[in-house]
Amino acid sequence: MNQKIFVSAKEVADRAGVSRSAVSRTFTPGASVSEETRRRVMEAAEALGYHVNHLARGLMRNESGLVCLIVSEMDTPYRSSLIRAISHQLQSVSKVAMLINTDRSDKSVDDALRLAISYRADASIILSGMPDRSITDLCMKSGQRLVLINRDEEREGALMINLHDREAARRALIAFQRAGCSRLAFANSDVGTPSLMAREEGFVEAADDAGIDVVVERFGPTRYQSGVVLAQRLLTREARPEAIFCANDLLACGVLDTARHQFKLAVPEELCVIGFDDIEQSSWSSYELTTFAQPVDLIAKEAVAWLTHPAPADGTASRIRADLIWRGSVRGG
Amino acid sequence: MNQKIFVSAKEVADRAGVSRSAVSRTFTPGASVSEETRRRVMEAAEALGYHVNHLARGLMRNESGLVCLIVSEMDTPYRSSLIRAISHQLQSVSKVAMLINTDRSDKSVDDALRLAISYRADASIILSGMPDRSITDLCMKSGQRLVLINRDEEREGALMINLHDREAARRALIAFQRAGCSRLAFANSDVGTPSLMAREEGFVEAADDAGIDVVVERFGPTRYQSGVVLAQRLLTREARPEAIFCANDLLACGVLDTARHQFKLAVPEELCVIGFDDIEQSSWSSYELTTFAQPVDLIAKEAVAWLTHPAPADGTASRIRADLIWRGSVRGG
DNA sequence: TTGTATGCGTTATCAG
DNA sequence: CTGATAACGCATACAA
């Protein structure tokens, strides 16, 4: 069944009439080989269909070229675009992404991290959940780098990339105020992800400061269908909100659809909505959603740069600003 | 920088007071170890933070546990849900997905496949593009299994998973006929992916058989924005189509939005639309798109089952039926 | 059941 | 610039 048939450096060396070291050097960037031997090696390698065994190379160098991406609900628009951006960046520095699905449990994140260690991954990037401190310590001790995206929690030696969620929430409030909205609401899922909570808290605080009340509603996973439920709850209140800030775009789409189709509300005339992420659907003409853009390419670039570049201090935190994209779901853009 | 600090089987053996073979056996499912030694080994391993080195193990067994996913535009709804399903299935059989981004060029697919060989991936699953025959031959010769999804092209020894695209297209025609539509159109991208072309050809053929004319329009990548352009072209024709079958849901969403918002057409009263894939957005209340469902979980299951199970004949082809999901974009569901 | 010895394909070291 | 040799961490055939 499993025919071995992998051609090794020795075979190439024999055919080319050189030592196996010469073969190794030919495929090691920046090694010194004469033009002549390189040519002969390449020729033999081509003929035999030789490919460097990255497993063996990784074993020697203690560096596999693998980077572990740990993520749940990866078929969600924002997540998948972040994955695309990161894997693309990784490839540009000759690394490759290992993709690991988790459910929401922190234990599954721990398992993923263990797997990363088993494969001697050069690094792990966590997009969902939060591993136990004992595991992250193990990662650091193993010389494995760690990047936490939107986790908003400290981990010794790891790179933390976060957005200015609270500050963005303040700007959302200002936008609503300028639109003349006074009855405000915040629509959130009930999963309690740090970045989602930061948006909620930032919005409520900002409203507090301005002496405005905010109705906060939380429900279900962070998905479209939850947005539907949230809208039903919010829009049936006696004092119907004039503006809803949603924890992310998926919720906002559900809210918008429900407001328009079920409650026959005109947006933005009767209801203003702001989301977060700027997923592709937000720009579709059924939504025209005003939202904060997550700069996924920038996030990916920062993450990968930190992985390859010797770290400045070792662990670092990065805060990125989310730009407000004005579309039609808020008056007076 | 790169502290070595990976604990090896030898260290565990020393601490447990056994030979390193005992350690190896403890972590090899189905090896014979006494309960006593197993316990002591596990204890030592736990204490030291030992993890089997999958690189070394893969080197020995010539089998890495890695499966390469080759895909372009992976942040697209259908693609990302397929990736989720596959990676999930892989994890359930203790394999892990290596994710490789390609652009549309076949050369980038070749490169991805070479990388898979370098990592001694157990298999490669191709979701986009088509590699050169010389490369696929190399894969087979290297004992690397190959799965082609929706590629609709033969490759010796590979598993090909396809849908009944042509047959589905026939059913789309019937649905339109039952809705009383006579002026028909097909909206396609211009990338010429086999499965997309099969849907187009199947639809045109079925219409031919029924003596009906079909306007075919092709434009751009297979994305929402292309749907917008396609709708503009189709809906400004003298004889405006009453029904449009779109090569996939993303195009259909663009068509629907444009028909409604720009041309003020009522769906399904003045225009019927059918898509393909059943992405999540199709069920959103702004679309209510009637569409053919790609059974991603089934596809993933078949692919992974074939990878783990000794192949029936070696290479195989699988055709899966796409169910029509009736929603509001066609009259008389 | 256990330990010993050997080999997997590389790269790094060092002598030439 | 080149070639021999020693690791790397593990699995396994073989002997005990």
Please determine, for residue B1, whether its predicted confidence score (pLDDT) is greater than 60: no
Q: Provide the mean pLDDT of chain B.
A: 93
Nearest CA distance, B232 vs chain A (angstrom): 14
Q: Which two tokens stand for residue A188?
A: 């959130």
Q: Judge if the beta carbon of B53 is closer than 7 A to nucleic acid strand C.
A: no
pLDDT tens sequence for chain A (333 residues): 445 578 999 999 999 999 999 999 999 988 888 889 999 999 999 999 999 999 999 999 988 999 999 999 999 999 999 999 999 999 999 999 999 999 888 889 999 999 999 999 999 999 988 888 888 888 888 888 999 999 888 888 899 999 999 999 999 999 999 999 999 999 999 999 999 999 999 999 999 999 999 999 999 999 999 999 999 999 999 999 999 999 999 999 999 999 999 999 999 999 999 999 999 999 999 999 999 999 999 999 999 999 988 666 666 889 999 999 999 999 986
How many CB atoms sit inside 10 A of residue A6's CB? Answer: 17
Q: What is the pTM of this model?
A: 0.94
Distance from the Cα of B133 to chain A's closest Cα (Å) equals: 14
A96 CB neighbours in chain B (<8 A) are: 98-100, 115, 119
* pLDDT tier at B40, thresholds 50, 70, 90: very high
With contacts defined as CB-CB under 8 Å, which chain B residues touch A52? 118
Min distance B191 CA to chain A CA atoms (Å): 20
Q: A155 CA to chain B: closest CA distance, Å? A: 19
pLDDT confidence of residue A119: 96
Element (H, E) at B299: helix B296-308
Disruptive mutation site among B101, B114, B294, B297 for chain A (greatest number of A CBs within 10 Å):
B101
**Cβ separation A98–B101 shorter than 8 A:** no
- Which CATH architecture does the domain made up of B165-294 adopt? 3-Layer(aba) Sandwich (3.40)
pLDDT tens digits along B223-234: 999 999 999 999
Cβ-defined contact of A62 to B2 (cutoff 8 Å): yes
At A2 the pLDDT is: 42
Rounded to the nearest 5°, which phi and psi values hold at A62? 55, 45
- Band (pLDDT 50/70/90 cuts) for residue B152 is confident
Domain ranges of chain B: 9-52, 66-163+296-322, 165-294
Nearest alpha carbon to residue A274 among A285, A261, A295, A288: A288
Asked if the Cβ–Cβ distance from B120 to A53 is below 8 Å, we say: yes
User: Taking residues B15-40, what's their average pLDDT?
Assistant: 90
**pLDDT value at B316 more than 90:** no
Does B261 contact A100 at a Cβ distance shorter than 8 Å? Answer: no
Measured CA to C1', the nucleotide nearest B11 is D9
Containing H/E element for B145? strand B145-149
Across-strand partners of B277?
B293
pLDDT given at position B64: 95
Assigned superfamily of B66-163+296-322: Response regulator (3.40.50.2300)
- Report how far Cα B173 is from the mean position of its chain's Cα atoms: 26
B100 CB neighbours in chain A (<8 A) are: 87, 91, 96-97
Nearest nucleotide to A12 (CA to C1') is C9
The two domains A66-163+296-322 and A165-294 share their CATH topology (first three levels equal) = yes
Whether residues B75 and A80 touch (CB distance < 8 A) is answered with yes
- pLDDT over 70 at B3, yes or no: no
Distance CA A131, CA A170 (A): 30
Smallest CA–C1' separation from B26, nucleotide: D11
